[in-house]
Amino acid sequence: MAEPCAAGEASSVLFVVLTAHQTRHRALLAHHSWCAGANCLFVAEDALGERWQPAPRWAQLHLSTHPPTGCCRKSRFYCSAHRKRTLAAQYRFLPALQLARRSVGVTSGRVRWVVMLDDDSFVFVAHLLGLLRQYDHTRPLLLGEFRADLRYACGGGGAVLSSTALRRLDLRRCIAASRGRCMQSDWMLGDCARSAGLERVARHGCGSCATRNVSDAALAARLRGGCHFMQQAGQHLGLLRTHLSSPSIVHGRTAANRTVGAALGRWPSPHGQCRAVAEPS
């Protein structure tokens, strides 16, 4: 059963979902699953070219920064087929944050939290709202699945910024600093967050930022301890479906090479979703 969420509470969190024309099927699935009771804005560089019913909110990015050439020659990290294919997409992240900062909900103060994630991630919205109730959005907070050295929060598990943190980021400078550098989107945000002095909240990660070797038993223990952000969730779908305290945002691929978003999005009535209810008058 979907959990009741006050309409005002659900709208206070803006989910900025990065997508593209070629992955619009994933965005469509998100729109009709976890986004159905949430405040979602889909962001793409190109027109999505498809009418969705009901129509989603989406905005088009116009990028001024593009990835440099020759990244594979500079570092073997970029030589894999996956990283070559997704490198250009990494440079959408900070401009999408810039776009979110100009959105009506953020400028009016109605939005207290902004969540950045890709269209292949999956969100248990009610769980995330429960977590965010513990925190003060007027502090410059960044939550996510951090690496052990706290350099950055792994992008697939989502990055959650308080509205105060978002306003504090010097996004123009950070976007300019990324020009000509071979970088991943979460590295860019990590650098920008450090330069702005954001408070990094790392204790809600599930420990999967840099490894796929988390056992179900180890993950179950972390779930009981309140982990909320999971970068590599593909091998734990059975546990996520049955555990009453699943993470808030999960990402990864299953053994059958399906995205976690696709696997969970077709699972009927997932726990941890919002059923919006009117606020008392």
pLDDT digits (tens, 9 = 90+) for 24-77: 889 888 998 899 889 999 999 887 766 665 667 888 887 766 778 899 999 999
Q: Look at the domain 3-65+74-271 and name its fold.
A: Spore Coat Polysaccharide Biosynthesis Protein SpsA; Chain A (3.90.550)
Task: Work out the mean pLDDT of the chain and round it to a whole number.
Answer: 85
Angle at 111 between CA 34 and CA 97, to 5 degrees: 80
Q: What percent of the chain has pLDDT over 70?
A: 86
pTM of the predicted structure, to 2 decimals: 0.89
Beta-carbon contacts of 160 under 8 Å, excluding residues fewer than 6 positions away, are 113, 114, 115, 128, 132, 141, 142, 143, 144
pLDDT, residue 275, reads 61
pLDDT, residue 1, reads 47
Identify the residue whose tokens are 């990065």: 18
pLDDT digits (tens, 9 = 90+) for 219-264: 777 777 788 998 888 778 777 776 556 789 999 888 788 888 888 8
CA–CA gap between residue 5 and residue 11 (Å, rounded): 10
pLDDT, residue 281, reads 32
Strand-pair category, 141-144 with 159-162: antiparallel
Cα dihedral sign, 197-116-134-108: positive
DSSP 276: E
Which of the four pLDDT bands, split at 50, 70 and 90, describes residue 277? very low
pLDDT, residue 280, reads 38
Cα separation of the two ends of the chain = 25
Does the pLDDT value for residue 131 go beyond 80? yes
What angle do helix axes 185-196 and 81-90 make, rounded to 10 degrees?
40
Q: For residue 48, what are the CA distances in angstroms to 61, 137, 218, 248?
A: 12, 32, 40, 27
Does the pLDDT value for residue 278 go beyond 60? no
Across the range 262-279, mean pLDDT stands at 63
